[in-house]
């Protein structure tokens, strides 16, 4: 087995400098996990805002350096990458997908420009025909074609389509790993499934591993193989997705699990009624 | 305290608090001689009863936000009302939103208020929270400064906030507290009608249920009606009494929440519900093919037909009317033929 990505006791601290005081924020505390090359999987990081999940993603992408610990991609320490050529090689194999596709693409530039630029930069292609062929191939993986995208601006497409194009762009350099930070939270619930299903297909057909970062437990349960739950920088629970999300053990993961509203009016109403009752009880306990 | 408990006569209870009839609101643009018309609200009729939470569901750019803006009378050009009417009934007095502008202005906040999506956009970041309450509600309550302050404090206490938040700036509060505050702002005058636009979308998952419970609790206590807009069907499942599904500017289905979830009549509704992932179930969910229609150039006939698995020839030519069916209304030529997944 070859290790694709290894996080070895990763810590990240931020120094916060106020006007007079300074303090340290431990954004990520002692996170370790690894992914194998032979076993492509969807690895999910679940957490609320401020849990350190985005910081972890930025470290995997090489945008942040861990304060301590080692982050190795294909056996090489990511922090040790110095030269431009090595950096490009790394970026070609680890690609990001961002939260809001409307912000990821410049609205004044046609979308094919971004796709062609990615092909030129990471594949080193010079010939327009080859560039277009590589772009078309990537778009075909997400159920689109270059003919549909050529000359279009981001405002002409729906959020779901745009996010597909973002995925296609990430696929152009034929990466081994995709880091998707909240890729569906800005997409409508009805289009969410098309993106999430796409991740499944990519794992199964292209053998790409995906690090899926989300706060939505239901889609996490639906697509993940393994999951870690983060809370204020700590990993509170980790393991097989169906076990962890189906039967959470840690108090925080249980609270998260209970916060998911079921798509069933009878059960959901019961939950809201319970919340109302407990709020009333808390009010009664308060003096005055 | 000064909290006034109003009891409404029985005859008033029966009348709907809001009647929208044949409402058409279009974005009409005329740039350099090129006319463009986007039919964001296209012939929508609905009524909202007293003491009811009415949920509006639909994807973005389906026209659901334009619809509630039009209902609130808060539209600015290029969005214009082309046809139809919006009538409120506050305490037996009928109020036409687009005919009686001054009366409408007086009714705002006292009878009709809003809970908005981004709580940070509602609360001025450089002024203390107490000023927000003063700006929004003071002139509608007709109380002295002192009584007003006491009333606001007791109101905040009832929605689970410490009255000390009045002295805080918005950035000192958490997202959940700020959303509570916007709900507090919207309900301090005890209005009969509240418009809520995605009030829980920007919140962390752990706070969402509490905010929903709060909305429901306040609604029950005041006996107000709420029109609640979100694309999250699970939120509708949790608090809406009735749901209206909007697709491409039209109301395609409406009915009691439980019936809509259990027996959706329109193929679009059936898809929306079937595509919801559930913990404990990894059965593959099918995503709807195609893309949302362009409202500047909508498809002929039924606007859903290019994406509809049940579309027949008739659907491409004739627009199905919204007709009563079972416990609700539905606009589909093949209504009820969908198998709920």
Residue B162 pLDDT class (50, 70, 90 cuts): confident
> Is the CB of B231 less than 8 angstroms away from the CB of A49?
no
pLDDT in tens, B185-207: 888 888 889 998 888 877 777 88
B341: pLDDT confidence band, cut at 50, 70 and 90?
very low
A287 contacts chain B (CB < 8 A): no
User: pLDDT value at position B9?
Assistant: 47
The pLDDT assigned to B7 comes to: 47
Crossing angle for the helix pair A159-171 and A128-141, to the nearest 10 degrees: 120
Q: Are A77 and A7 in contact (CB under 8 A)?
A: no
Name which of A49, A217, A259 is nearest B209 (Cβ-Cβ): A259
Q: What are phi and psi of B276, to 5 degrees?
A: -75, 125
Q: What's CA B52's distance to the chain center, in Å?
A: 12
Omega before residue B78 within 30° of 0, cis: yes
Q: Is the ipTM of this complex over 0.90?
A: no
**Beta-carbon separation of B287 and A276 below 8 A:** no
d(CA A170, CA A135): 10
As a whole number of angstroms, the distance between CA A159 and CA A186 comes to 8
CA angle B286, A217, A174 (to 5 degrees): 65
A17 versus B264: the higher-pLDDT residue is B264
Q: Give the pLDDT score at A41.
A: 94
Per residue, what are the HEC states of A236-256? EEEEEHHHHHHCCCCHHHHHH
Contact status, residue A220 vs residue A227, Cβ threshold 8 Å? yes
> For residue B329, which of B273, B237, B259 has the smallest C-alpha distance?
B259
CA distance B272 to B266: 10
Q: pLDDT tens digit string along A209-247?
A: 999 999 888 889 999 999 999 998 899 999 999 999 999
3-state secondary structure (DSSP) of residue B330: strand
- pLDDT tens digits, A55-76: 999 999 988 899 999 999 998 8
Binding-face residues of A in 161-190 toward B, CB within 8 A:
161, 188-190
Instruction: Give the nearest chain A residue to B289 (CA atoms).
Output: A194
Task: Kindly determine whether residue B233 and residue A189, on different chains, have CB atoms separated by under 8 Å.
Answer: yes
What's the whole-number average pLDDT of chain A? 88
Note whether B226 and B196 are within 8 A (CB): yes
The verdict on B213 touching A (C-beta cutoff 8 Å) is yes
Predicted confidence band at B340 (pLDDT cuts at 50, 70, 90)?
A: very low
**pLDDT tens string B70-105:** 888 888 888 888 888 899 888 778 888 888 888 888
Contacts for B54 with CB less than 8 Å, ≥ 6 apart: B46, B48, B225, B226, B227, B228, B240, B241, B242, B243, B244
> Are A262 and B237 in contact (CB < 8 Å)?
yes
A27 and A55 Cβ atoms separated by less than 8 Å:
yes
Give B330: exposed, middle or buried? Use CB within 10 Å, 0-12, 13-18, 19+.
buried
Query: What's the distance, CA B334 to chain centroid?
Result: 28
> What are the structural domain ranges in chain A?
3-249
Q: How far apart are CA B25 and CA B18, in angstroms?
A: 17
Q: How far is A134 from chain B (nearest CA, A)?
A: 24
From the CB of residue A287, how many other CB atoms can be counted at a distance below 10 Å?
3
Q: How much of chain A, in percent, has pLDDT values that exceed 70?
A: 98
Which pLDDT score, from 0 to 100, does residue A288 have?
A: 47
- Tell if the CB–CB gap between A260 and B160 is shorter than 8 Å: no
Spatial CB neighbours of A30, under 8 Å, sequence gap ≥ 6: A9, A10, A11, A69, A234, A235
Nearest CA of chain A to the CA of B115: how many Å? 19
Nearest residue, CB atoms, A265 vs list B206, B258, B286:
B258
Check CB contact under 8 Å for A158 and B292: yes
Contact at 8 Å (CB) between A28 and A12? yes
Contacts of B274 (CB under 8 A, 6+ apart): B285, B286, B340, B341
Residues from chain B contacting residue A47 (CB–CB below 8 Å): none
Interior CA angle at B224 toward B221 and B228, to 5°? 115
What CATH code would you report for A3-249? 3.40.50.300
Q: Which residue has the tokens 């408990």?
A: B5
Collapsed DSSP state (helix, strand, coil) of residue A85: helix
Tokens linked to A124: 């080193």
pLDDT at B140: 83
A78 with A177: CB under 8 angstroms? no
Domains along the sequence of chain B with CATH: 50-73+101-276+295-330 (3.40.50.300)
């Amino acid at each position: 087995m070859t290790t694709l990505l290894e996080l070895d006791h990763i810590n990240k601290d931020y120094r916060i400098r106020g006007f007079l005081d300074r303090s340290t924020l431990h954004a990520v505390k002692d996170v370790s996990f690894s992914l194998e090359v032979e076993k492509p999987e969807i690895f999910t990081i679940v957490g609320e805002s401020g849990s350190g999940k985005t910081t972890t993603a930025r470290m995997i992408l090489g945008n942040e350096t861990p304060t301590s610990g080692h982050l190795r991609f294909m056996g090489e320490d990511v922090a040790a990458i110095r030269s431009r050529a090595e950096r490009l090689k790394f970026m070609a194999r680890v690609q990001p997908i961002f939260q809001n596709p409307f912000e990821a693409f410049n609205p004044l530039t046609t979308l094919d420009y971004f796709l062609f630029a990615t092909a030129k930069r990471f594949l080193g292609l010079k010939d327009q025909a080859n560039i277009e062929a590589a772009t078309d191939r990537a778009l075909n993986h997400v159920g689109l074609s270059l003919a549909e995208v050529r000359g279009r601006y981001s405002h002409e497409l729906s959020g779901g389509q745009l996010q597909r194009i973002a995925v296609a762009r990430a696929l152009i350099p034929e990466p081994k790993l995709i880091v998707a930070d909240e890729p569906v939270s800005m997409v409508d619930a009805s289009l969410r499934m098309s993106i999430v299903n796409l991740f499944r297909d990519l794992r199964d057909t292209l053998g790409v591993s995906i690090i899926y970062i989300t706060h939505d437990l239901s889609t996490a349960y639906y697509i993940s193989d393994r999951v870690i739950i983060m809370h204020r920088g700590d990993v509170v629970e980790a393991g097989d997705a169906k076990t962890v999300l189906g039967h959470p053990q840690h108090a925080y993961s249980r609270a998260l699990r209970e916060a998911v509203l079921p798509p069933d009016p009878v059960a959901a109403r019961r939950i809201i009624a319970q919340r109302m009752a407990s709020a009333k009880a808390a009010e009664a306990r308060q003096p005055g | 305290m000064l909290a006034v408990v109003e009891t409404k006569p029985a005859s008033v209870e029966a009348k709907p608090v809001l009647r929208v009839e044949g409402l058409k609101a279009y974005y009409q643009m005329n740039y350099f001689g090129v006319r463009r018309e986007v039919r964001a609200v296209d012939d929508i009729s609905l009524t909202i009863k007293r003491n009811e939470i009415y949920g509006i569901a639909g994807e973005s750019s389906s026209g659901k936000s334009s619809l509630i803006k039009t209902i609130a009378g808060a539209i600015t050009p290029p969005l214009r009302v082309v046809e139809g009417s919006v009538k409120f009934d506050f305490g037996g007095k009928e109020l036409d939103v687009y005919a009686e502008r001054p009366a409408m202005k007086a009714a705002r906040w006292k009878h009709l208020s809003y809970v908005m999506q981004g709580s940070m956009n509602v609360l001025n970041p450089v002024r203390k929270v107490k000023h927000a309450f003063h700006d929004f509600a003071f002139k509608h309550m007709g109380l002295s400064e002192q009584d007003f302050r006491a009333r606001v404090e007791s109101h905040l206490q009832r929605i689970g906030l410490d009255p000390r938040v009045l002295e805080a700036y918005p950035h000192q509060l958490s997202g959940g507290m700020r959303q509570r505050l916007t709900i507090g702002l919207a309900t301090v005058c005890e209005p009969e009608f509240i418009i809520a636009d995605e009030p829980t979308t920007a919140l962390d998952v752990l706070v969402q249920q509490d905010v929903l419970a709060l909305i429901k609790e306040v609604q029950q206590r005041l006996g107000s009606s709420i029109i609640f807009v979100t694309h999250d069907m699970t939120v509708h499942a949790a608090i809406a009494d009735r749901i209206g599904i909007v697709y491409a500017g039209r109301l395609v289905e409406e009915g009691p929440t439980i019936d809509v979830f259990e027996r959706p009549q329109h193929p679009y509704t059936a898809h929306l519900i079937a595509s919801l992932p559930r913990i404990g179930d990894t059965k593959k969910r099918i995503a709807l093919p195609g893309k949302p229609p362009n409202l500047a150039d909508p498809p002929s006939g039924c606007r859903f037909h290019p994406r509809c698995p049940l579309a027949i020839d008739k659907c491409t030519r004739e627009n199905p009317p919204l007709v009563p069916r079972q416990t609700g209304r539905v606009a589909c030529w093949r209504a009820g033929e969908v198998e709920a997944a």
